Chains A and B, each alone.
Chain A
Amino acid sequence: MTIHESVLDGLADVRTHKLRTLLQTLGVVLGVASLVAVQGLVDAGRRQTLDFWSQTGGLTKLLIVNRPPKETRITARQLASRSLTWEDAQAIKREVPWARLVDPIASTRLPVRYGDYQKARDISAATPDYPSVYRFYPARGRFLTQDDLESQSRVVVLGDTAARTYFGNEDPMGKTLYIGDVGFTVVGVMKRKEFYFNDEDRNALEWMNRQTFIPLTSLYARFTGDASQRVNYINVVVDKAENNRKATEEARGILLRRHGGVADFEVVNRGDRLAHAEEQGRVFDLTFLVTGIVSLVVGGIVIMNIMLASFQERVREVGVRKAIGARGTDIAIQFLVESILVTCIGGALGLALGVGFAKGITALLGEPAIITAKMAVVGVVASVATGLFFGMYPAFKAARLSPVEALRYE
């Protein structure tokens, strides 16, 4: 008896026992559905995190931040360290071969004035690498240049929201914006940057649109008069992810040397954070896998139970089939094909239901869910495996029946 024929026989059997099949599949339907729906939500969440990261510097970004010593008694050495400086950033750019972009940023609150508008604002003092780090480019005009940096020019570049805040409907290009009492010429306006997490209608990257950029050197020269040229943080973008770890170590070494051995900074490696996130993701995955497996096992037990219950009425059939030449293998295959068929039907229904769930959740909660081909495959494989595993016992039990005894069975 060929598999093809067994499938036809199995289908006929399923058709004649619709209710039984429905009951049998229920566990698998729900198991696969929850597996698919939950996995869809988790995958969507993970994809968003990755998207967000790539929007803000990608996975090859190292973030170097100040971390003042926590001890109450500060040593003279610690006191002598000046925190992160522009010099540090330049040293990293010089000495770390894998550092593709180095972008130190100093942020200061200063009064901003144009026409009637006057308010204290955070001013970002940056370098020309900034747009490349954040993939944040001017919509009009230009960003700060190396020339601006060297000549401490009085030019300003505005985020989209900042431009609107200061200039309303006026065209800001070429206008003079007063920062402190110094007039800065607007040379560029950035493209809007937007990113929406899940259900939030808040733009997670709105802070970028609110920024007011001036050359780092202009901040020191015209406002703070800071001879040590301190910065708040330094973004370093490494050429490729494999070099993250090395670059992190090297940057740390350079900074330790320059800070007289005082670790008053921290190098945060996005790659490590990703690994951490992946680690957490794996825990999630494992949890869902376990719940999924548990529900499939329950589904499988239901299938086995019903198969065993209906076994009694099929003993005679097995006897007849054996009497006319069915081998044990034929009988086993027939039973297995049937249970796999039932679970596959369950799996397909579960997949549909799961997609429905995911869509429903998306519609109701605004949580995006993605359904991948991988999940469809996982759903089908899981169903087949369930059918195979739990069909095994009834199948072999049937295969081993002696024809005479099976025929005698009433």
Chain B
Amino acid sequence: MAHASGRTRGESGNPIIRLQGVHKVYDAGENAVHALRGIDLDVEAAEYMAIMGPSGSGKSTLMHILGCLDVPTEGEYLLDTTPVSKMSSRELARIRNRKVGFVFQSFNLLPRATTLRNVELPMLYAGIGRGERRERAQEALQRVGLADRARHLPAQLSGGQRQRAAIARALVNSPSILLADEPTGNLDTRTGQELLSIFDELHAQGHTVILVTHDTNVAAHARRVLHIVDGLVEADQTRVVEAEGAVA
């Protein structure tokens, strides 16, 4: 039902994500931690991929690099054919703002801002005018089924609602990829399932979705599963097309 893809570079035309020999070393010196030891990875547009691995394997580090929250110590990262590794923090901020949507395990909504304001925030940093901001934020909330919670503060929302607000925020600038770091980690199973169905839908609508998880049930939603161990890709499996019908 699944086969090791063994993708090699050049197989596809323009992958949306291309990592070439990416290393990440923290705290250079005596106690250097080699979190990533040479990752090669291509992700095509509209793929649905899960990154799995034991804790300390480097999957979060990989996620941060994919999300441009961090830069590789060594190696090349092409996001939508743009080389990101050597970018200034200012350029990275722009990429995070427009090309990447990030969903966190702990939601990371601003506690004192309303749901609507939270969703508007990326557009604020993109310099989008008030009217359009309102409209698009409302639209994004509608997509995740939170239109009636726009004026609520995060504290007045349930966990699932908060995560849905976070997804709306991640989507609002129409990013090329949607990254989710253990998005269901703080939710009960049922709410988690509801949330995953949102990701499924987004994928069905053509979004590139990458999520980090240690839960095989969560990973099962993705067609492709990347296993990271000790900072290296241990396995890269893509399920055959027939399996997709079973999931969807």
Contacts and interface: CB of A to CB of B under 8 A. Distances in A.
Contacts of A13: 112
Contacts of A329: 90
Interface string A308-334: 000000001101111111111110000
Contacts of A328: 89-90, 93
A401 to B, nearest CB: 11
Interface in B61-77: 64, 67, 69-70
Given A404-B70, A407-B104, A325 B112 contact: no
Nearest to B99: A325
Interface of A: 1-2, 5, 12-13, 16, 316-317, 319-330, 402-404, 407
User: Which of the listed residues B104, B109, B124 has the most CB atoms from chain A within 10 Å of its own CB?
Assistant: B124
Given A324-B125, A324-B169, A326-B125, A407 B93 contact: no
B59 interface: no
A240 B227 CA distance: 94
Given A322-B93, A404-B64, A5 B69 contact: no
B112 A407 contact: no
Contacts of B156: none
Nearest to B133: A5
Interface string B92-129: 01101110001010001110110000000110111100
Contacts, number: 69
Secondary structure at the A interface, as helix, strand, loop or mixed, is: helix
Nearest to B123: A325
A327 B143 CA distance: 28
Contacts of B122: 324-325
B112 to A, nearest CB: 5
A326 B108 contact: no
Contacts of A319: 108
A321 B64 CA distance: 15
A1 B108 contact: no
A323 B69 contact: yes
B97 A407 contact: no
Contacts of A321: 110, 121, 125
B90 A325 contact: no
12 contacts: A1-B124, A1-B127, A12-B112, A317-B110, A320-B109, A322-B69, A324-B102, A325-B126, A325-B173, A327-B125, A330-B125, A404-B70
Contacts of A326: 93, 97, 125
B97 A325 contact: yes
B82 to A, nearest CB: 16
Contact of A316 (B67, B108, B113): B108
A325 B108 contact: no
Contacts of B121: 321, 324
B174 to A, nearest CB: 13
A118 B216 CA distance: 122
B111 to A, nearest CB: 8
A319 B102 CA distance: 12
Nearest to A319: B108
A322 B96 contact: yes
B240 to A, nearest CB: 35
Nearest to A324: B122
User: Which of the listed residues A1, A16, A323, A402 has the most CB atoms from chain B within 10 Å of its own CB?
Assistant: A323
Contact of B125 (A12, A317, A325, A402): A325
A5 B112 contact: no
Contact of A404 (B69, B97, B98, B170): B69
A325 B96 contact: yes
A16 B114 CA distance: 13
Interface string B117-152: 000011011110000000000000000000000000
Contacts of B170: 324
A330 B89 CA distance: 12
Contacts of B89: 327-328
A13 B111 CA distance: 11
Given A320-B108, A320-B110, A404-B64, A327 B127 contact: no
B125 A1 contact: yes
Contact of A407 (B69, B94, B109): B69
Contacts of B64: 404
Contacts of A2: 124, 127
A325 B98 contact: yes
A324 B127 contact: no
B98 A407 contact: no
A330 B126 CA distance: 11
Contacts of B98: 325
B171 to A, nearest CB: 11
Contacts of B124: 1-2, 5
Interface in B33-90: 64, 67, 69-70, 89-90
User: Which of the listed residues A2, A317, A325 has the most CB atoms from chain B within 10 Å of its own CB?
Assistant: A325
B112 A323 contact: no
Nearest to B101: A324
A317 B89 CA distance: 18
A78 B96 CA distance: 95
